[in-house]
Amino acid sequence: MSHSTDPPVREPRPRRARTKKDVVTEFRRTAILGAARGVFAAAGFEAASVDDIARAAGVAKGTVYLYYPSKDAIYRAAVREGLEALAEELRRRVEAAPTLREKVRAFVETKVAWFDRERDFFKIYLVAFGDLATPRSCPEEVKSLYRRQLDILEGAFRAAAGRERIRRGRPADAALAVFDLTRGVVTRRLLAPTRPRMDNDVELVLELIWKGLGGR
């Protein structure tokens, strides 16, 4: 008689149902981080206070400390939450695009539109990327999320290699070029007294990249 040596099949654990406490916690965290982005963008990190953030969020200062132990922790969480949401939106839009040109367009368009909506977040995002040596800029977390955006683009260029008529080159270099050009456009739009049409800026970046790639 033979005996099976296969390990027993483990049933997946059922997902825990969300409780009222979970909902309240998520709501308060969202409110605190949304308020923090506005306060940090308006006052800067040094001048901002937990009192200011609590007041903007409409909660007591003690409530803020229930979720975040310090102003630095709030800043880190605000940067991380925004970048995670942006990376997920970029991934979804780029994966849905059918060709490399449309994938590049989706990346640029999504990022420009995102920061047009989230202008307060972009101000603290610039600080996080502009000075990675400071403790509050959470370098490892920020670098990881920065890398995630580049990976999305690099994957698109790798997949297109040999399939689309573009100049040969390193996908990592092409991804970085798109990333840097897009950030330049976003920064210019943030600083401009009047906001130019988004489609004009998107087309400009796309044409520059596509000509550089020798695409047809």
Tokens 């901002």 — which residue? 48
Count of domains observed in the chain? 2
117 and 185 inside one domain: yes
Q: Is the pLDDT of residue 139 over 80?
A: no
**pLDDT winner (highest mean) among 11-15, 89-93, 212-216:** 89-93
Decide which of 35, 50, 69 is a domain's last residue: 69
CATH code at position 98: 1.10.357.10
Residue 174 inside a domain? The answer is: yes
* pTM for the whole structure: 0.76
Which residue type is seen at 143? K
Q: Which of 141, 113, 114 shows the shortest CA–CA distance to 128?
A: 141
CATH code at position 37: 1.10.10.60
Decide which of 69, 103, 126 is a domain's last residue: 69
Question: Among 14-23, 28-37, 67-76, 185-194, which is the least confidently predicted range?
Answer: 14-23
Domain region containing 138: 72-213
Q: Is the pLDDT of residue 145 over 60?
A: yes
Residues 6+ away with beta carbon under 8 Å from 114: 86, 89
87 and 183 inside one domain: yes
204 and 160 inside one domain: yes
98 and 182 inside one domain: yes
Helices (H), 44-170: 50-57, 61-67, 71-96, 100-117, 119-130, 139-160
Residues 81, 88, 191: CA angle, nearest 5 degrees:
65
Which residue did the predictor score with more confidence, 18 or 27?
Answer: 27
116 and 146 inside one domain: yes
154 and 207 inside one domain: yes
153 and 86 inside one domain: yes
3-class SS at 76?
helix
At residue 50, the pLDDT reads 95
Q: Is the pLDDT of residue 216 over 50?
A: yes
Average model confidence (pLDDT) for the chain? 82
Asked if 201 contacts 189 with a C-beta cutoff of 8 angstroms, the reply is: yes
In this predicted model, what pLDDT tens digit does every residue of 166-185 receive, in sequence order? 666 688 888 888 998 998 88
Asked if 36 contacts 5 with a C-beta cutoff of 8 angstroms, the reply is: no
Which residue did the predictor score with more confidence, 41 or 2?
Answer: 41
At residue 208, the pLDDT reads 85
28 and 114 inside one domain: no
Using CA atoms, how far residue 161 sits from 40, 94, 99, 166, 175, in Å, is 42, 16, 12, 8, 13
32 and 110 inside one domain: no
